[in-house]
A = this chain, B = another copy of it.
């Protein structure tokens, strides 16, 4: 009986790190497909420019993830992430329901911030795990992305307070 139990390899932090890396790799690629649609839908110039900038940043973030996969000796592969699919689906719903309406930009902005927060949670976790696992270079790459996501979220918050909502109220 002991052999059977031993045959089941205990799942460690390294396994979890790999799983979550695949999750966020899928998420980033999903976001890359979604950003042009959000950019096209946005009315406010600032928001349009923010989506365009974030698309460029996201490409750089995918490149960083490729490097992290290489560092841990695994192929860069994604795994379906229900969370980002759900978040993106909600954004798509807003685009459909508020098409041509004054509040569309505010809705797009909210959807983008939900995406940013999901990424912030994931990269924060991955960075901490990379440190624990003794991958300082991977941790530095993940931290660089985390900082970008936080900066994007902050910029979107500023936009939400100034331009967008006033427009949504028809002011």
- Write 14 A-B pairs (CB below 8 A) sorted by A numbering: A10-B170, A12-B103, A12-B168, A16-B103, A16-B106, A16-B168, A81-B86, A82-B90, A83-B87, A86-B86, A106-B129, A110-B121, A114-B121, A124-B157
Name the distance in Å between A148's Cβ and chain B's nearest Cβ. 16
How many protomers of this protein does the assembly include?
2
Q: Which size bracket describes the interface of A in this complex? A: 35 or more
In the complex, the chain B residue whose C-beta lies closest to that of A15 is: B103
Q: Interface on chain A toward B: helix, strand, loop, or mixed SS?
A: helix
* Contact across chains for B12 and A169 when beta carbons are under 8 A apart: yes
Indicate if A69 sits at the interface (CB-CB under 8 A): no
* Contact across chains for A110 and B20 when beta carbons are under 8 A apart: yes
Indicate if A66 sits at the interface (CB-CB under 8 A): no
CB-CB under 8 A from A84, the residues of chain B are: 86
What are the nearest 6 A-B pairs in CB distance?
A86-B86, A82-B86, A117-B121, A13-B168, A11-B101, A117-B117
- Would A12 and B82 be within 8 Å (CB), given that A117-B118, A129-B165, A165-B128 are in contact? no
